[in-house]
């Protein structure tokens, strides 16, 4: 196999109570990438569509992640990469992570899959560090593994995939504004009051238990963020009214997708998700900001090879 084309799905990270440790993979929303083996060693990005991003390998998240993997193997040939962006940068649904995860997945396939999917996460995190200033796996993990993922620890990296309850749907409202992850992290406090930490731990435990038992009611009770959301929501126009509209329309929970500005909700069933999407759209119209809406099942497969 000398050339492949892959689909790199969008993701929702944090899921309210799981800052930097929880994420889920979306269906139908994502980038496409093309990989080719070439005689010259190294990694070159030859084409980017859909976004104004650098072609220089060391300045592109896909290039940095790809180089981390290639340097670990040191093959006697190289790779060319095309990136076709469908996820807008700064959208809060894993634009940079799709590039980083796709890069390591595609090159791993052309190398004969020397690394497992779990091992690829560590390489992809190198690209995420370029985008946000820190290595975190809450987007790249679900992009690579699919489903819901929990990052139990970072040293060493320990990621658990959790199969989604069968009727789970996600709704994402993406305002047409950019919010860089680095800027969104800058508003966070380095310390957390013990009382709030205890509340957050309980919610995260409840969310994990709800996913494993398919208890939608428990999932809904647990989708609460008392630490990050209060600081970040001021960066997102219309956040409170949009979130409240989702909850009033029957969403299990709603919050900030990743670093924002996208706002997500989780719902039981497609009909409920469509109703919530309609309510969120109507509420956000008051801001006057253009936006996109996505209604998606949870993608259990993650990044994958596709045909033209």
Catalytic residue set = 128, 181
Rounded to whole angstroms, the Cα distance separating 89 from 100 reads 13
Rounded to whole angstroms, the Cα distance separating 279 from 74 reads 52
Rounded to whole angstroms, the Cα distance separating 261 from 95 reads 12
| Angle CA 248–266–182, to nearest 5 | 105
Task: Count the neighbouring beta carbons within 10 Å of the beta carbon of residue 110.
Answer: 17
Residue holding tokens 């969120």? Answer: 280
Residue in 147, 192, 127 with CA at minimum distance from that of residue 15? 147
Rounded to whole angstroms, the Cα distance separating 105 from 99 reads 10
Rounded to whole angstroms, the Cα distance separating 49 from 62 reads 14
Rounded to 10 degrees, what is the CA torsion of 32, 36, 41, 42?
A: 0
């Amino acid at each position: 196999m000398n050339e492949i084309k892959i689909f790199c799905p969008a993701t929702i990270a944090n899921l309210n109570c799981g800052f930097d440790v929880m994420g889920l993979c979306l269906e139908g929303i994502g980038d496409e990438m093309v990989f080719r083996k070439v005689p010259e060693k190294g990694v070159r990005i030859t084409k980017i569509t859909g976004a104004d991003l650098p072609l220089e390998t060391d300045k592109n998240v896909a290039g940095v992640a790809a180089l981390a993997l290639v340097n670990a193997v040191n093959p006697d040939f190289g790779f060319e990469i095309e990136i076709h962006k469908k996820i807008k940068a700064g959208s809060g649904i894993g634009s940079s992570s799709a590039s980083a995860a796709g890069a390591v997945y595609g090159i791993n396939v052309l190398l004969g899959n020397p690394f497992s999917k779990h091992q690829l996460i560590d390489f992809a995190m190198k690209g995420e560090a370029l985008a946000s200033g820190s290595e975190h796996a809450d987007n790249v993990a679900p992009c690579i593994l699919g489903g819901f993922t929990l990052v139990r620890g970072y040293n060493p990296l320990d990621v658990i995939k959790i199969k989604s309850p069968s009727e789970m749907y996600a709704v994402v409202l993406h305002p047409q504004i950019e919010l860089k992850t680095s800027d969104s992290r800058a508003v966070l406090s380095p310390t957390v009051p013990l009382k709030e930490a205890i509340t957050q731990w309980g919610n995260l435990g409840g969310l994990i238990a709800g996913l494993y038992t398919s208890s939608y009611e428990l999932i809904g009770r647990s989708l609460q963020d008392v630490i990050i959301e209060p600081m970040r929501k001021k960066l997102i126009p219309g956040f409170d009214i949009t979130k409240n509209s989702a909850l009033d329309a029957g969403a299990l929970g709603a919050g900030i997708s990743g670093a924002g500005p996208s706002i997500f909700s989780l719902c039981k069933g497609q009909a409920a998700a469509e109703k919530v999407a309609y309510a969120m759209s109507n509420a956000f119209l008051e801001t006057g900001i253009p936006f996109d809406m996505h209604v998606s099942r949870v993608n259990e497969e993650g990044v994958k090879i596709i045909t033209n």
